[in-house]
Amino acid sequence: MKIGIIGTGYVGLVTGVCLAEMGHEVTCIDQNTAKIQLLQSGQAPIYEPGLEPLLTRHSALGTLQFRSSIAEMAEDAAAIFIAVGTPSGADGTADLSFVLQAADQIADFITRYTVVVAKSTVPVGTTRVIMERIQAKLESRGLSRKLADVVSNPEFLREGKAIEDFLQPDRIVVGIESQQAARVMEQIYEPLTKKGHSLIVMDLRSSEMTKYAANAMLASRISFINEIAELCEATGADVEKVRLGIGSDHRIGPFFLSAGVGYGGSCFPKDVAALMATAREYQASSSILQATVEVNRRQRKRFLAKVAEYFHGSLEGKAITVWGVAFKPDTDDIREAPALDLIKSLLNEGAAVSIHDPIALPHAKQVFGDRPGIRYFNDPYEAVQGAHALMLVTDWDVYRKADMDLVKKSMNKPVVFDGRNVFDPVQMKNAGFHHYSIGRKASWEHE
């Protein structure tokens, strides 16, 4: 089946590559011509494990093409996916300008029946707005409104696991109003449904809400365990043991219960804010969402406060190393990354900050540039040379496997603040570190 995709960001590109892998002929377009040129030269503009081999193979086969304008898309595409950004507006509402612009481009382009797929995360009611907008434009072009159906097909992939998540989804959710569009969507996803992955069909509004509810639930689970972590620290319990204890209850489950410096990324903060905006619009309650955001904010502050407390309230002149800038491992994405807030605060408090990240350092440089006090390192061990403290903010594997003897020798003082509970407190203590991790008393508080 011929498919078009508008937007080659994390979602659009992964969708394009995976639909090609599923046997479709895909054309991706993006208004960012630099991105398209890079993709045409066979390079991925993002770091995503498993992406490049598929990109290379399908580009060579011609089953995946990149163009900078919708005019270059196959006219007989059976479906066009909208996978553009829906960033947060000032009041938390989702900014739909990219989505509506893409809808207009589609309405001006199509000449035969096309299913328009809203892949971007959009607030309840938006798919219908897109549909009416496209159909009104078709009418004004003297064409039938029936030339386009718009369906909602939210995406649930995680960065760092995007290919796997797309090709082996827990479920595919489709919000749909027309039988003709339903058949097209069934054909698109048939290679996955044939393997047993479920396609859940529902109405447009429920599909849109499912995406926000899933992200809000996951974000609230993180804030829940982080609040329990704070209580563990206060009472002398160990959140890692509590996690094991509650996660073994099959009704709770062990996943997405890791305490840490809180969630970041391009989705949870923005989508929880957008859902709260929807609640405001409909005068509905959003107390759990508000608490989720508040705990997440507090979690970063608590982590920083712990470091400041260790240095008797002042970070002035302290050499602090930050390991990890990406909002999570296996991605170069730093949108809403907890590390950004932490680094800013450290610099504001007069610390000298050395940062390392295996992949995301260039993006960090775009944010902090040559601001006084900051230094960038490609080697995690060089980054800790002479440090008074090490803060681990992203749980990259390279840090889990770090040679902590070497770290200890390199540091000015062996002090580690583990924001992702990567290191074992007993081993750290035995190795001679002062060590704090989330949801447990710090090693020096036991002394």
Ligand X SMILES: O=c1ccn([C@@H]2O[C@H](COP(=O)(O)OP(=O)(O)O[C@H]3O[C@H](CO)[C@@H](O)[C@H](O)[C@H]3O)[C@@H](O)[C@H]2O)c(=O)[nH]1
Ligand Y SMILES: NC(=O)c1ccc[n+]([C@@H]2O[C@H](COP(=O)([O-])OP(=O)(O)OC[C@H]3O[C@@H](n4cnc5c(N)ncnc54)[C@H](O)[C@@H]3O)[C@@H](O)[C@H]2O)c1
Residues near ligand X, by CB under 6 A = 121, 155-159, 215, 218, 222, 256-258, 260, 263-265, 267-268, 271, 327-328
Q: How far is the CB of 38 from ligand Y (least distance, A)?
A: 11
Query: Which residue number, 160 or 439, has a Cβ lying nearer to ligand Y?
Result: 160
- 18, 28, 232, 267: the catalytic one is 267
The binder of 264, among ligand X, ligand Y, none, by C-beta within 5 to 8 A per type, is ligand X
| Torsion angles phi and psi, residue 224, rounded to 5 | -60, -50
Q: How far apart are CA 338 and CA 394, in angstroms?
A: 9
| Using rule CB under 6 A, residue 101 touches ligand Y | yes
Q: How far is the CB of 425 from ligand X (least distance, A)?
A: 19
Q: How far is the CB of 46 from ligand Y (least distance, A)?
A: 7
**Could you tell me how many residues make up the chain?**
447
Helices (H), 149-203: 162-167, 179-193
C-beta separation of 409 from 387 below 8 A = no
Ramachandran assignment for 107, one of left (phi > 0), alpha (psi -120 to 50 degrees), beta (any other): alpha
The binder of 6, among ligand Y, ligand X, none, by C-beta within 5 to 8 A per type, is ligand Y
Q: Among residues 4, 7, 262, 269, which is the contact residue for ligand Y, using CB under 6 A?
A: 7
Q: Which of residues 262-281 bind ligand Y (CB under 6 A)?
A: 266-267
| Using rule CB under 6 A, residue 351 touches ligand Y | no
Structure tokens at 85: 């950004």
CA torsion, ordered 120, 123, 126, 128, to nearest 10 deg: 110
- Count Cα neighbours of 6 within 13 Å in the Cβ-side half-sphere: 27
Query: Which residue number, 185 or 326, has a Cβ lying nearer to ligand X?
Result: 326
C-beta separation of 44 from 113 below 8 A = no
Q: How far apart are CA 20 and CA 1, in angstroms?
A: 10
Q: How far is the CB of 405 from ligand X (least distance, A)?
A: 27
Q: Which of residues 142-201 bind ligand Y (CB under 6 A)?
A: 155, 157, 159
Using CB atoms within 10 Å of the CB of residue 353, give its burial: 0 to 12 exposed, 13 to 18 middle, 19+ buried: buried
The CA distances from residue 22 to 186, 254, 317, in Å, are: 13, 31, 55
The binder of 260, among ligand Y, ligand X, none, by C-beta within 5 to 8 A per type, is ligand X
Q: How far apart are CA 84 and CA 371, in angstroms?
A: 32
- Is 267 part of the annotated catalytic residue set? yes
Q: How far is the CB of 304 from ligand X (least distance, A)?
A: 16
Structure tokens at 284: 């509905």
| Using rule CB under 6 A, residue 98 touches ligand Y | yes
Of 3-11, 201-209, 234-242, 347-355, which part binds ligand Y (CB under 6 A)?
A: 3-11
| Using rule CB under 6 A, residue 206 touches ligand Y | no
Q: In what order do the strands lie in the sheet with 319-323?
A: 374-377, 352-356, 319-323, 389-392, 415-418, 434-437
The binder of 193, among ligand Y, ligand X, none, by C-beta within 5 to 8 A per type, is none
- Count Cα neighbours of 92 within 13 Å in the Cβ-side half-sphere: 16
Q: Among residues 27, 59, 65, 86, which is the contact residue for ligand Y, using CB under 6 A?
A: 86
Indicate the residue whose CB is closest to ligand Y.
9
| Using rule CB under 6 A, residue 11 touches ligand Y | yes
The binder of 126, among ligand X, ligand Y, none, by C-beta within 5 to 8 A per type, is none
| Using rule CB under 6 A, residue 30 touches ligand Y | yes
The binder of 7, among ligand X, ligand Y, none, by C-beta within 5 to 8 A per type, is ligand Y
Residues in Cβ contact with 401 at an 8 Å cutoff, skipping those fewer than 6 apart: none
The CA distances from residue 355 to 377, 385, 428, in Å, are: 6, 11, 22
Task: Report the DSSP pairing between strands 434-437 and 415-418.
Answer: parallel
The binder of 222, among ligand Y, ligand X, none, by C-beta within 5 to 8 A per type, is ligand X
Query: Which residue number, 267 or 360, has a Cβ lying nearer to ligand X?
Result: 267
Of 77-85, 231-239, 293-301, 340-348, which part binds ligand Y (CB under 6 A)?
A: 77-85
| Torsion angles phi and psi, residue 376, rounded to 5 | -110, 140
| Using rule CB under 6 A, residue 9 touches ligand Y | yes
| Using rule CB under 6 A, residue 293 touches ligand Y | no
Which positions touch ligand Y (CB under 6 A)? 6-12, 29-32, 35, 83-86, 98, 101-102, 105, 120-121, 155, 157, 159, 266-267
Residues with a catalytic annotation lie at: 267
